[in-house]
Amino acid sequence: MRSKWMKVRASVKKICRDCKVIKRRGVIRVICINKRHKQRQG
């Protein structure tokens, strides 16, 4: 499922203090209360 807000980047970083870097199924992701900050490495 594609998310309108998910950014796919080679380098994922925290954008604000609410962002969290996590690893799910071998993929590094950033989750945040601000949906515009959602990222995954790819």
**Letter for the amino acid at 39?**
Q
Q: How confident is the model at residue 8 (pLDDT cuts 50, 70, 90)?
A: very high
β-partners of residue 28 are 23
pLDDT exceeds 90 at position 1: no
pTM: 0.83
Higher local confidence (pLDDT), 28 or 2: 28
Q: State the burial class of residue 30 (Cβ atoms within 10 Å of its Cβ: 0-12, 13-18, 19+).
A: buried
pLDDT, average across residues 15-24 = 97
**Letter for the amino acid at 37?**
H
The pair of structure tokens assigned to 13 is 């970083």
Quote the pLDDT of residue 11: 96
